[in-house]
Chains A and B, each alone.
Chain A
């Protein structure tokens, strides 16, 4: 009789090992996906910061009376350049989004500027990076959600504990970013 028990034990151990390997790979893959989508956000944030000086150069000649609007953009850009943690980066980026929104709203009053090919180009590019940031943020949060779900539910939570994995933070969008920025004339 004893050999039946041995075989059963061997089967259980092998089965357990297979499941463990499966979950180990799954958890690592999911974690890599989170890191990769953060890298994506970071690339887009840098790209956006690089576009700003060009925009200021183009706009400067036309908008002589909009000092505050232009200053806000520059301020938000330097906040973005000096941001360290992911959440700091996102907060600075939200500030920049708001500042740019005001700038483009004010630009509506300058027909010459609106006709400027360079300005139009930069506006397209900035919209593109803004959307890319929004979508990579969405993808980041999706990835974090499925990672957290995996390591918090049974049996993933059991393996995650052995691997020393902890749940990740999602990126929060502050309420201020949801509001339409005020435009002063």
Chain B
């Protein structure tokens, strides 16, 4: 019962956090567009507002409604093919875990990659997607695969996926705008503002904001992301009643170093079961996931 309470609290906090993060992201995005418009139109606040407000609102709305497709295409994922035995078995394991969790069946996707990895995405538990790499299908046995799927199913059940998916969409957009701005400044854009000396400080502030925004956006997300991994590990073990499956899978992931570079965009990294772009055991503010050794240790002691 204690455990159940913990999860229910977590879900409640997650829903609240989703609203907070979405609002925060919308605000941040608004500030950035405002800053961009401000720089381009020589410090005219009104024009900045006229530009920023509708773009920010429309953009956040679009990111929200297309977030799942965005994540899937960034990962270059395709629907699992039930005619291939490996992928059929994956569909079977997902079916089983959705029954164990008492959730509707998620869509099953596959990503071509040598790496062992998996992620879940979606806006609500009733409409979610679970995706694994082909490397995971080839290198993990069914017990380990089950552990991985249970971990992803727990992210869905704990309402972790909406917040992650939406945040990633907005973070990606912020990075894009920051990049556009960077290049246009190199080309000498925004030079007309020079006759307005009094606005120089505001201008610097605007530029600073553009630089800091993506960092803040990312840190907000990372701070909440690591705690979730431990919880998803333990609720996954609760679903399968077999913490060893996931522990063994994590050990395999740790020992597995393919030669090829991981495919797909870096923005998807926090969604994965373990981050493919970083070495595994360095823990810092930038890590999306807790160190693998610590996760294995906790699973083994269950």
Q: Show the binding face of A for B, using Cβ within 8 Å.
A: 33, 37, 40, 120, 124, 127-128, 131-132, 135-136, 138-139, 143, 146, 149
Name B residues whose Cβ lies closer than 8 Å to a Cβ of A. 1, 4, 85, 88-89, 92, 95-97, 99-102, 239, 241
User: B187 → chain A, closest Cβ, in Å?
Assistant: 59
In angstroms, Cα B95 to Cα A124, docked, is 13
- How far, in whole Å, are A128 and B142 apart by their CA atoms in the complex? 11
Contact of A124 with B1 in the complex, beta carbons under 8 Å: no
A120 to B88, CA, bound (A): 12
Report which of B4, B95, B239, B241 forms a contact with A128, defined as CB distance below 8 A: B95
Q: Which B residues are CB-close (under 8 A) to A120?
A: 85
**Do B89 and A124 touch across chains, with their CB atoms under 8 A apart?**
yes
Question: Apart from A128-B92, A139-B101, what are 12 other A-B pairs with CB-CB below 8 Å?
Answer: A120-B85, A124-B85, A124-B92, A127-B92, A131-B96, A135-B96, A135-B97, A135-B100, A135-B239, A136-B99, A138-B100, A139-B100
B interface: dominant SS: helix
Question: Dominant SS at the A interface?
Answer: helix
Residues of chain A contacted by B99 (CB below 8 angstroms) = 40, 132, 135-136, 139
B85, B97, B99, B239: most-surrounded residue (chain A CB, <10 A): B99
Shortest beta-carbon distance from A122 to chain B in Å: 13
Top 9 closest pairs, chain A to chain B, by CB: A135-B100, A128-B92, A131-B96, A135-B99, A136-B99, A139-B102, A135-B96, A132-B99, A132-B96
B240 closest partner in A (C-beta): A135
**Chain A neighbourhood of B88, CB < 8 A:** 124
23 contacts between A and B (CB under 8 A): A33-B102, A37-B102, A40-B99, A120-B85, A124-B88, A124-B89, A127-B92, A128-B96, A131-B92, A131-B96, A132-B95, A132-B96, A135-B96, A135-B97, A135-B99, A136-B99, A136-B100, A138-B100, A139-B99, A139-B100, A139-B101, A143-B102, A149-B1
- Note all chain A residues with C-beta closer than 8 A to B102: 33, 37, 139, 143
* CB of A135, distance to nearest CB on chain B (Å): 4
Q: How far is the CA of A22 from the CA of B225 in the complex (A)?
A: 33
Q: How far is the CA of A143 from the CA of B4 in the complex (A)?
A: 12
Chain B residues closer than 8 Å to A143, beta-carbon distance: 102
State in angstroms the CA–CA spacing of A42 and B112 once bound together.
37
Chain A residue with Cβ nearest B89 = A124
Bound state CA distance, A161 and B265, in angstroms? 57
Nearest CB of B to A174, in Å: 18
Q: B97 to chain A: which residues have CB within 8 Å?
A: 135
Write the nearest CB–CB distance from A97 to chain B, whole angstroms: 15
By the criterion CB–CB under 8 Å, are A146 and B4 in contact?
A: yes
